[in-house]
Amino acid sequence: MVKLDRGLGLLHATATNVIMMIGVGPFLTIPFMLSAMGGPHILYAWLAGAVLAMCDGLVYAQLGAALPGSGGPYVYLREAYRPFGLGRLLAFVFIFQVILVAPLSIAGGAVGFANYLQFYWTSMSPLQHHAIAAAVCLVVTAALYRHISDVGRLSVVMLTVVLLTVGWVIVAGLFRFSPAQAFDFPPEAYRVDGDLIAKIGAVSLLAMYNYGGYNNVCNIGEEVRDPHRTIPRAIILSILLVVALYVAMSTVIVGMIPWQQAAESDVIASVFIERTFSDPAQGRVAAIVMTALILFVTASSLYAVILGYSRIPFAAAREGQFFRVFERVHPTKHFPHVSLVTLSALAVPFCFFPLGVLVEWLMQIQIVTQFIWQCAAVILLRRYRKDIPQPFTMWLYPVPALVALALWGYVFASSPLRGQMIAVGFFAVAVAAYFIFDRTGRRQTSPRDAETQRYRQGI
């Protein structure tokens, strides 16, 4: 059986999570969040998203420690639902959605990169914008064409730049922001009614898009050293760090720029940094530097996204559950190069869609095809799969899993109807595709399944 090298320690694993979580997302979506909330009280959505991220992160931590293999959720769903005859179906649905979700996620970051590049290139045409986004996908893929140990070291370098960028925004704001302005919430922010709850739910969808990535280490679990301990720690550390950074960053931005103005800006971080200088010339130079850093942060996030998703089709193909071509590993650098290149190529057409549409489809499809099923999977695996050692148990088990399940349902119900219909329709198509695939005999179980299972559990 083809095996990957375990070359990532706790620092590397945490770094791959954080650089995926901190991409261009918050720098682009904070204005959207302010507009949707109708005031500076986006703090509610950040905190609601933080609760969901931590509860969902504990689900991933427990599943990832028990089944530390490439593909993450593919393995979890297959094993948790196997006693009920649904393991193959839900694993197939997950792989099926990855072929859409991965390109959507990659394209979202690339489109965000092109959006921020317009700070320099103000005359950029729509066609040029799309071409730049597509080119970014290909360049980042080329950067990943290396051994996993080199990827881990490069991730740490990227993490350093990411933290410096966000840190600059926070520190610059702390000396000049107005707490009174930042927390000048409108009267409706203090009335707990249906309108406020609906707004928090809708804006939490954007918050979770920004927090997304804490599970990235699960997709590359087979390449993590001491995964039973490293995976849970990397997930929890990355969530705590990013939540603190996002709350602080959005607070100082709103405390410097009135929320009405911030809601209208396409390059909020660059404008923010420019306003921290009393000299306009110095402010302009600082804004140019900040924009360059944000572009690097965006590329770093794409680096982590493509890295994680590329391991999922590889894991399924290795077990005979997907096209065999995705099983191929680079002969000298030992990484799944066919899967890596394919997902990046599929992202190119989606670079022609606006960011808002990409985020909406990305989150809603994942909720229906993956997230809600995983929340139940962690309970089912513990209760019905006594043959699988579970070295980590979430705090207050199973409360976080149940809270995550309820909150995912709430976020989905609060999201736009168009996206809900697309997500449910896509799930139905995935299920139909499974039965067609299964009936025609194109989906066969590999005799290596038992060996693979023992390997992933570290037996």
Residues 65 and 227: beta-carbon distance below 8 Å: yes
- 430/93 Cα distance (integer angstroms): 5
Residues 225 and 8: beta-carbon distance below 8 Å: yes
Q: What is the mean pLDDT of residues 263-276?
A: 88
- 416/212 Cα distance (integer angstroms): 19
- 48/196 Cα distance (integer angstroms): 13
pLDDT of residue 356: 82
pTM across the whole model: 0.84
Cα–Cα separations (whole angstroms), residue 18 to 50, 155, 168: 15, 9, 17
Question: Given a cut of 50, is residue 207 above it in pLDDT?
Answer: yes
pLDDT of residue 146: 64
pLDDT of residue 131: 95
Question: Given a cut of 50, is residue 344 above it in pLDDT?
Answer: yes
Q: For the chain, how far is it from start to end, CA to CA, in angstroms?
A: 15
Look at residues 96, 80, 145, 65 and name the one whose alpha carbon lies nearest to residue 316: 96
pLDDT of residue 1: 57
pLDDT of residue 446: 46
pLDDT of residue 231: 96
Rounded to 10 degrees, what is the CA torsion of 311, 316, 320, 325? Answer: -40
**Assigned token pair, 159:** 């993490």
Question: Given a cut of 80, is residue 63 above it in pLDDT?
Answer: yes
Residues 54 and 351: beta-carbon distance below 8 Å: no
Question: Given a cut of 80, is residue 145 above it in pLDDT?
Answer: no
- 445/438 Cα distance (integer angstroms): 10
Look at residues 305, 342, 267, 265 and name the one whose alpha carbon lies nearest to residue 108: 305
Question: Given a cut of 90, is residue 331 above it in pLDDT?
Answer: no
pLDDT of residue 328: 86
Question: Given a cut of 70, is residue 441 above it in pLDDT?
Answer: no
pLDDT of residue 2: 59
Residues 456 and 78: beta-carbon distance below 8 Å: no
pLDDT category, 459, cuts 50, 70, 90? Answer: very low
Phi, psi of 91 (to 5 degrees): -65, -40
Question: Given a cut of 60, is residue 442 above it in pLDDT?
Answer: no
Residue 8 or residue 382, greater confidence: 382
Q: DSSP for 188-248?
A: GGG--SHHHHHHHHHHHHHHHHHHTTTTHHHHBGGGBSSHHHHHHHHHHHHHHHHHHHHHH
Q: DSSP for 58-112?
A: HHHHHHHHHS--BTTHHHHHHHHSGGGT-HHHHHHHHHHHHHHHHHHHHHHHHHH
- Which of 25-29, 167-171, 308-312: highest mean pLDDT? 167-171
298 residue type, one letter: T
- 88/79 Cα distance (integer angstroms): 9
DSSP helix/strand/coil, 332: coil
The alpha carbon of 335 is separated from its chain's Cα centroid by a whole number of angstroms, namely 21
pLDDT of residue 443: 42
Range of weakest confidence among 329-333, 375-379, 446-450? 446-450
Give the list of residues 6+ apart from residue 439 with CB closer than 8 angstroms, or none.
Answer: none
Average pLDDT, the chain: 87
Question: Given a cut of 60, is residue 457 above it in pLDDT?
Answer: no
pLDDT of residue 315: 77
% of the chain surpassing 70 pLDDT? 93
Length of the chain: 459
Residue 4 or residue 52, greater confidence: 52
- Is domain 10-456 given the CATH code 1.20.1740.10 in the classification? yes
Q: What is the mean pLDDT of residues 275-293?
A: 89
Residues 105 and 98: beta-carbon distance below 8 Å: no
Could you identify the residue written with the tokens 């799969």?
385
- 403/57 Cα distance (integer angstroms): 12
pLDDT of residue 3: 64
Q: What is the pLDDT of residues 147-190, one digit of tens each?
A: 656 666 777 777 788 888 889 999 988 888 899 999 999 999 99
Q: Is the peptide bond before 187 cis (omega within 30 degrees of 0)?
A: no
Give the list of residues 6+ apart from residue 151 with CB closer than 8 angstroms, or none.
Answer: 144, 307, 335
Could you identify the residue written with the tokens 């997302």?
25
Q: What is the pLDDT of residues 65-74, one digit of tens each?
A: 999 987 789 8
pLDDT of residue 89: 94
The alpha carbon of 340 is separated from its chain's Cα centroid by a whole number of angstroms, namely 17
Task: Indicate the domain borders of the chain.
Answer: 10-456
pLDDT of residue 400: 97
**Assigned token pair, 166:** 């966000």
